[in-house]
Copies of this chain bind each other. A is one copy, B any other.
Amino acid sequence: MKKLFNSRSSMADDMIAGFLAAWPDAAVIGKHPRVVRRRALKIGKVSLLIGNGSGHEPIAMGFVGTGLLDANVVGDVFVAPSPDLILEGIREVTGPAGAILLISRHEGDVINGRTAAMMAEDEGFSVHPLLMYDDISSAPKGQEEDRRGAAGTIFIYKILGAAAEAGLDLTALAELGAEVRDCTRTLGAALNPGISPLTGQQMFSLPEDEVFIGMGVHGEPGVGRRKLGPVRELVAFMLDALLQDRQISPGTRTLVLINGMGGCTMMELLTVFGEVAAGLAARGIPQTAPMIGSFSTTQEMAGFSISLCTPTQRMLDFWQAPHGAPLFPDLHGVGA
C-alpha cells in the first residue's frame, strides 16, 4: 500500500495531530483525544456535531470551527466511532440548549449515533439525532429514508452550522435540517477505485471504459455500470436521474455541489460543473453559490457526485454565511 503514513494504528491520530498543529485557533482536542472540538465554544447555542469514520477528509474534521461544527468525533479509518466515544463528544460541547447529532445514514453510524444520543439523554442532555440521506441510487423514490448519506449532507452541515450560530433553538434546527435534507438529492459516479488503508487493496475493479453509477462512500455497490464516453453524456444521464427523482421547476434557484471522491482533478470537476450548469440552464433552472472540490472523499477513488439542493432564501443566507472552519471553502467572499 503506497500511502503516506507512519503505521496503520497511528493513522487517524497522526492526521489529527497535523490538523491541530495547522489551525490551533479553530480547533482543539477535547478531553478525549478523538474529540476534535471548536476552540471557542459559544455559550447558550445549540451544538452541532458528528461522529464518523476517518479516511474521508476534509469531511468532517476540517469542518470544525465557528459557524459550522462544534465537534467531530473521529473514528478509525472507515469505522464509525463507538457510542461511548460519540457520547464523549456530546458531553464536550453540549450545554442547556442541547445538541444536533448529525448522522450520515450508514448502518454502523446510525446504530452508534442513536445509542449515543440515548445515553446522552439519560445523562440529562437534549440531543436530536438527525438522519441524513441523499443518495438516490441507494433506494427508490418513495423510500427516501432508506437511502445512504452522501456528499449532499454537506448542505446540512453548513446551513445548520450557520443557523445554530445565529441562535435557532433545537426544535427549529431539527426542522430546518429535515427541510434541507428533503430538498437535496445526490448521485455519484466512480471511475477508478481507491486503495483501502484497512486492507491495502483496491476497493473494486472496473473495465477501462466503464463507470459505476451510485457507488457509496466506502465503495458500496452502485446501481449499474455504463460506458464512460464524453463527460457531457454522463452528466446528462445523471442530471436526468436526479431531476426525475425530484423535479425542479424552471426559475427555482438551485445550489450545486460537485464533490470529487479524491482522485478526480480540479480540471475534471470544473468541467463536470460546466455541464451541470449548462444542463440546468437549458431547463430554465438558475444555479448560484456552488461548491466544487474534493470534500467528502474515499481515499484516492476517482469519481464525483452531483448534489442539487433547492434552498429557501433563509437556507441560502446560511449557506453563504462566513465561518471559521479551516477546510470548508469561503462561499461568501468570492468575487468580493
- Report B-chain residues with C-beta under 8 Å of the C-beta of A23: 334-335
User: In angstroms, how far is the closest chain B Cβ from the Cβ of A319?
Assistant: 15
Known: A2-B302, A266-B58, A297-B266. A334 touches B271 (CB 8 A): no
B interface footprint on A7-47 (CB within 8 Å = 1, 0 otherwise): 10001001101110111111100000000000110000000
Give the shortest distance, in Å, between A39 (CB) and chain B (any CB). Answer: 7
Number of copies: 2
A55 vs B322: C-alpha distance in the bound complex, in angstroms? 31
Give chain B residues whose Cβ lies under 8 Å from the Cβ of A24.
335
| Chain B residues within 8 Å of A272, by CB | 4, 18
A230 CB-CB contact with B under 8 Å: yes
Task: Report the Cα distance A54→B77, complex, angstroms.
Answer: 34
Task: Give the nearest-CB partner of A38 in chain B.
Answer: B335
State the interface size on chain A (CB cutoff 8 A).
76
Q: Is A234 an interface residue (CB 8 A)?
A: yes
| CB pair A18 B334 closer than 8 Å | no
A333 to B62: give the CA distance in the assembly, Å.
14
Q: Are B334 and A266 in contact (CB under 8 A)?
A: no
A232 touches B (CB below 8 Å): yes
Is A240 an interface residue, CB under 8 A from the partner?
A: no
The reply to whether the CB of A224 lies closer than 8 angstroms to some CB of chain B is: no
* CB closest residue in chain B, given A1: B208
Task: Say yes or no: is A5 at the interface (Cβ < 8 Å to chain B).
Answer: yes
